[in-house]
Structure 1
Amino acid sequence: MSESATTTHPPSPMVGMIERPPGPVLRPRRVLQDFGGTYLVNGVVGLIFSASGPVAIILAAGAAGHLSAAQLSSWIFGVFVLNGILTMITSWVYRMPLAFAWTIPGTVLVGSSLGHLSWPEVLGAFLVTGALITLIGVTGQVGHVMAALPQPIVMAMVAGVFLHFGVDIVKSVGGDPAIAIPIVVVFFVLQSHAVLRRWMPPIIGAFLVGAIAVAVTGSFQPQSGSTTWFAAPVLQAPEFSLRAMLELVVPLAITVIVVQNGQGVAILQVAGHRPPVNAVTIAAGVWSMLASAFGAVSSCLAGPTNALLVASGERQRQYTAALTFGILAVGVGLFAPAFVDLMLAMPAAFIATVGGLALLGALQNAFRAAFEARFTMGALVTFLVSISELDFLNIGAAFWGLIAGVAVSFLVERDDFRARRAG
């Protein structure tokens, strides 16, 4: 069988619990033959998406924890360089787009926890989360973990964690309308028409218009004394505390395995690929442990980015879009200090509005998934607890939201549990 034919085949049966690649690793010459303009553009668009709204979410979370510019630069170095390398390795080996990035719900969760947890405690939780994800992947129990928690309850937690980002859009419109209103208007104008969306993804258009608004209003305030443009990642020591473990590890692992990886796998399956679920989980866990040393949040298979990478082109060549994304991501990470200085010079309304709009679709989908059919009472309780800012036993509201939602559903929605088991 020719090499060309094998590229369309799904991964071979698993050795142990790790799925085999579909064949030998492709030679560089073959990879270059598979490249094309369509895949280059898809990779560039995926990178621009990741470097706009999602980075604004990191900066917003970092501001909540009063992180220094050096710590933020190291965080961005970790999420771009490390995940860019992982993307290139896995996409090349498995011959399909497997773009890794960082968990956005996890980043939001960390931002809300930094009000009462120290940064070293958070890093310890990152490390333990990575170990837990790796263990689950090695045991081959990923499917069981995804099925253990009712999806509506998980998505209600996500909605609760995301909600304040949406509210921050409204606050920015009232507080700095000259910056926020153009961003919001352009986002929804682009969102309103399919042709416009294909020509310019709404969040990217909003980002560009926001940058113009910042320039016109003179709101750009670069920090003086910047020393370098090139990344100097900071190795940071974790600190292990019970409250950080209880508050962050389980919710972070759930967002990676169930929410983020689950979304990425579903997107790739719809596009005709058969992603190696256990291998993806193990890779996300190992890379999360590595990223924690640089102060970076957990790695995951990126749903929105992979959706952009498979938006067009031949399925067997779409892995080259992921390679493009990975190469460009490494480039962004290597110049993280310059990128952070640029973003920090932007007014707060720019970061809050772009970050909130980047999460708006995810917030909408979370509400839809949480309250569409079953487990609606448990989902409602989870949502209410998650937005309550409850801090019981020094453990944040997201964790207690999951506990409360599952408990309420078990008491009053047993028919939903039975229907799920029957299904």
Structure 2
Amino acid sequence: MLARWFNPGHISAGFGAVLVGYTSSVVIIIQAAKAAGASAAQIESWLLALGLVMGLTSILFSWHYKKPVLTAWSTPGAAMLVTAVAQYSLSEAIGAFMITGVLIVITGLITPLSRAIERIPPQLGTAMLGAILLPFCLKAFTPLSSMPMVFLLMFASYLLAKHLMPRYTMLTLLIVGVACGLFGEQSQGLNESLSVSLASPVWIKPEFTLPAAVNLALPLYVVTMLSQNLPGIAMMRSYHYDVPVKPLLVGTGLANLLFAPIGGFSVNLAAISAAICMNEQVDSDKSQRYRAVIWAGMFYLMAGLFATSVVALFLALPNEISHILAGFALLGTLLMCLSSAFKQDNYREPALFTFLITLSGVSFLGMSSTLWGLLVGLVYLRLSHQSGKA
């Protein structure tokens, strides 16, 4: 019995899933918290909350259903927050996170609402996400003018790792980036910042305002559902795991609501990283693969508890290195978004409007460009389909 729990395949898969999630996007989470005006202690609280909530939900769901149900934070949601959250206070942002949790709970309870979300054409959803991610990817190349040697070294490392060991591309890039920080001009400040200590939660009183609800909570909800929960459900079903969707949505929504005041901006079903815990390499016995997710949950908990060290490391890195890490982490997702958005002829123009309006950053009538882009795309799509029928 004990040997089952200490199966090397389960442990390595769980660790790999968490490693992929953290190395690919933790820098974006920190950027989102900074954009919201969070202090260093509050940023640590964000990562503590996320580690705890992802660890607990992954363990509890997988234990209860005896199936691999991995949760994660919403990387596209964090990217959206970086561009949208600065005009609101931190308390308003926390209130918006709680509203997002409530919306996810409602989606789980009301079947027509979940079906309405599913009916949003994926071409428009991915066009919206692509516009959110594009500025991050562009920023990855700006350090070429200010830190050319660092950029060229990291770019070469990325290309080599992508070719030789694609699963560990971001881990390789992270190691090279940290090494550049350690041995570069700002190495003294980075060395002094590195320490090992436990993180502490920081309670932030939520404030509920209509603008934050419309321009933060609603887009975060849509992005989380379209880019995380629906693909996460599809991923589980592709591996023939039939898990009831409603309890998962209600559970993650409630967890989001409870952990938001200490920085848990998002907890949702994992998609890409979840596949690491579901394939045959984990365990030839499909019914035992849920143990890999339980190990992932424990690694999540450890990462959350030691968030102080993670935050100190990334805050001490030069901004140029952070931009490179964030931009290259999102290249694959951006490529997927653009490929999906513009693949089919009859969706190209509506997707283009969604993409351009979202990218423009305009706001009108109290609504952000994210919502306007999706709304205009949906209206244009409906009109073009009606004219095609006529």
Counterpart amino acid of 2:231? Q
The answer (yes or no) to whether the contact 1:248–1:399 under 8 Å persists in 2 is no
SS of the equivalent of 1:387 reads: helix
Distance 1:389 1:58 in 2: 20
Distance 2:123 2:59 in 1: 33
Partner Cα distance (2:141, 2:65) in 1: 43
SS at match of 1:296: coil
| Cross-structure match for 2:305 | 334
Q: Tell me the distance in 2 between the aligned counterparts of 1:393 and 1:142.
A: 25
1:205 aligns with 2:177: no
- Alignment partners' CA distance in 1, 2:249 and 2:116: 11
Aligned length: 384
Which residue number in structure 1 is paired with residue 181 of structure 2?
A: 214
Counting only pairs closer than 5 Å after superposition, residues 162-201 of structure 1 correspond to structure 2 as 162-193=133-164, 196-197=165-166, 200-201=167-168
CA contact (8 A) 2:195 2:309 kept: no
Letter in 2 for 1:132: L
1:209-288 maps to which residues of 2 (within 5 A)? 209-220=176-187, 221-222=189-190, 229-288=197-256
Deviations along 1:281-335, one digit per CA (max 9) or x if unpaired, are 1122111101211122121111122022224223222211111111011011111
Are residues 218 and 49 of structure 1, via their aligned partners in 2, closer, same or farther at CA, if it must alter by over 3 Å?
Answer: farther
> 1:129: which partner in 2?
100
* CA gap 1:307/1:183 in 2 versus in 1, 3 angstroms: farther
Whether the 8 Å contact between 1:35 and 1:320 is mirrored in structure 2 is no
Identical counterparts, % of pairs? 25
Matching residue of 1:393: 365
Gaps of 5+ in 1: 1-28, 419-423
Measured at CA, do residues 178 and 255 of structure 1 come closer, stay the same or move farther in structure 2, by a change above 3 Å? Answer: same
> Aligned-pair distance for 1:148?
2.9
Structure 2: gaps spanning 5 or more residues: none
Q: Does 1:67 align with 2:35?
A: no
Q: Secondary structure at the match of 1:303?
A: coil
Structure with a larger share of its residues in helix: 2
C-alpha contact (below 8 Å) 1:231/1:334 kept by paired residues? yes
Q: Structure 2 vs 1, CA of residues 66 and 303 (structure 1 numbering), >3 Å: closer, same or farther?
A: same
- What secondary structure, in the 3-state scheme, does the structure 2 residue paired with 1:80 have? helix
Shift of 1:63: 3.0
Q: Which deviates more, 226-235 or 339-348?
A: 226-235
* SS of equivalent to 1:51: helix
Q: Is the 8 A contact 1:244 1:395 kept in 2?
A: no
2:21/2:273 contact within 8 Å kept: yes
Alignment match, 1:296: 264
TM-score w.r.t. length of structure 1: 0.85
C-alpha distance in 2 between matches for 1:226 and 1:35: 31
1:355 aligns with 2:355: no
Question: Equivalent residue of 2:268, what SS?
Answer: strand
Query: Could you say what the CA RMSD is over the residues aligned between the two structures, in angstroms?
Result: 2.2
Report the Cα offset of residue 226 of structure 1. 9.2
**What secondary structure sits across from 2:363 in the alignment?**
coil
Query: Match of 2:47?
Result: 76
Partner of 1:26: none
Change (3 A) 1:259 1:189: same
Give SS of 1:203's match.
helix
